[in-house]
Chain A
Amino acid sequence: MKRLQGIRVSADFIKAHHHVCDLVNSEYPILSLVTDGRANWLYLWCDTDGSRHRWLLFRTTRELLVEYLDKKNPLLKLVTESTKLLALDEGAITYADAGTSRKKLTKRLLKRVSLEDVSDYLPADDSYFDEELTRDLDLTKQIVPSLYDLPIDGSWFGKDFEHLFKRYERVYAFFYATRPQFVTTIGGILERCLRAPWMGGASRVHLYSQLAQQIPAIHSLRVKHLAYGSPGAIRFEALPSIGESIAKTTTSFIENEDAIARHFDCIQKILTNANLRSEDLSAVADASVPLNDDKKSELKDACASIATVLDVESEFAALVHHSPNVVVFSKAVQSFVRQLTLLAAFQADDMVKFSPEAHANIS
């Protein structure tokens, strides 16, 4: 493996990178789609000396990635047009068959490189996307994001935008992760977030902020245009079907706030009485949850009632499927309701209009 020229970069640079799916995987993941929460990155395996592996990391635009998936551009174009090209050398991995110890990755060397440095590793001119080489994508689902407007009005301060985007992004992440998407690994991401050790407060709010960081950047919320006036609009480039669901669910929430509050309080009471509000049960199976069957049923019923009122039964079913137990599921539901409460407050203050009719796909 040849020594690469280039400028050394701290490995912390890729600390926030999350694997989304593999775009080429045959015996080994050759090309992986990765997100840093904002941008799309591709990791292309390119060399080994038997003990170290070398990956070419390059950032790509939403447009180029869509064209690659549409087979309009080869992978080569994504590499050559990237504005950020890095080479990652990963230290020795000594694996043994099951039953014996496994050594984990220890060394990582990251360098900023030029195209000339990595010319031996470049894909072929006809390196077009081939669905035969991946099982992580469902090409029948929407890939290309489009534009839709969220109408805004009233008077706004800087912090209002920050709060709106934060809440809106979390609810967007909920809908994205609980529905089948073109990236079939999304269920795994949801499951990982629900089962990760949880050290937060009483709410599972971090679930949705973590999800928002891990959904593919190709579908994350991108603010394409912002017109501020009386009235104005935020123009998102994302999945309009989810924008529409957010509008419908928030509207249902506003219309049924009292009923939802009663079910929310019921969940809260059960968790508080059992001292489970700040208990980390991420690794506990349902049968081992310290609640009797009646209380578990009450939790499930309260969550089911909220799902019915908000018309999110299938989304909650996905949460149940990926949750380790009914308590974690209930906390995830509570957190979702809290996010809706905060979003609805914008409408109550006449700052955002969430009605589905006003929230049309404009593309």
Chain B
Amino acid sequence: MVDRGKGNMEIQANDSPNQKQLVADGQKKANTMLKHQAELSALTDCLSQLGHQFNSFAYRVVHGALNHPDNYLPQAVLKPARLNSTPHLCCSLWGLSMFETRDQLARRMKKNVKNSPNFLKLVGDHYVCLSLKSSHGLRTPSSKHGHFDFYPYTDCDVNSAVIEHAPLTL
């Protein structure tokens, strides 16, 4: 729907009014680049799948300290070797993992803890509820389990969108 890969955005005939608004919002940010824009632009079929509309809230697992440096770093930065070992996931590796609801987030974390009991030491044992808008960045559609990837703009301070930060109960 929204192709920022070559720096242009096109509205297609079957776009809904909301999607047009979304694109218009994006055009206001025409001079704003996504974080890691160069890496994302180099990937085929990556930017073209972004541009999905934001819902009211988004949930992400974070550390207890809201300003922890790893809270909003994508896997591609935290674990760059993965870009070589899983090239088919490169687009996703540059995104920030989010969930539509707190329950979906907790369900996923519970599954991870079953495999590795200390998992929350790695990603954090708190969650944030974010009020993300198209002025913050772009996102993918969510999976059937409520998961999606968020790609912030360079000038986006994700913490400014936090409306709740609390311990994660599994």
| Chain A residues proximal to chain B, CB less than 8 Å | 19, 21-22, 24, 26-31, 44-48, 75, 95-98, 102, 120-124, 126-127, 130, 132-133, 135-136, 184-185, 187-188, 191-192
Contact = CB atoms under 8 A, between A and B. Distances in A.
23 contacts: A26-B109, A27-B75, A27-B112, A27-B122, A44-B116, A45-B116, A45-B119, A75-B115, A96-B77, A98-B36, A98-B77, A102-B80, A120-B117, A120-B118, A124-B113, A132-B111, A133-B112, A135-B88, A185-B85, A185-B86, A187-B87, A188-B85, A192-B84
B116 A46 contact: yes
Given A124-B114, A132-B145, A188 B78 contact: no
Interface in B82-116: 82, 84-89, 92, 97, 108-109, 111-116
A98 B93 CA distance: 13
Interface in B52-95: 61, 73, 75, 77-80, 82, 84-89, 92
B108 A26 contact: yes
Interface string B2-38: 0000000000000000000000000000000001100
Contacts of A126: 114
Which of B84, B85, B87, B89 counts the most A-chain CB atoms under 10 A from its CB? Answer: B85
A95 B88 contact: no
Contacts of B61: 27
Given A26-B109, A44-B116, A126-B114, 14 more contacts: A21-B86, A24-B116, A28-B75, A45-B116, A48-B121, A48-B122, A95-B78, A123-B114, A124-B113, A132-B108, A185-B86, A185-B88, A188-B87, A192-B84
Contacts of B80: 95, 102
B43 interface: no
Contacts of A185: 85-86, 88
A214 B118 CA distance: 30
Nearest to A75: B115
Q: Is the interface of B mostly helix, strand, loop or mixed?
A: helix
Nearest to B114: A124
A31 B111 CA distance: 12
A21 B112 CA distance: 17
B42 interface: no
A305 to B, nearest CB: 29
B84 to A, nearest CB: 7
B123 A27 contact: yes
Contacts of B109: 26
A126 B121 CA distance: 21
B119 A30 contact: yes
Contacts of A19: 85
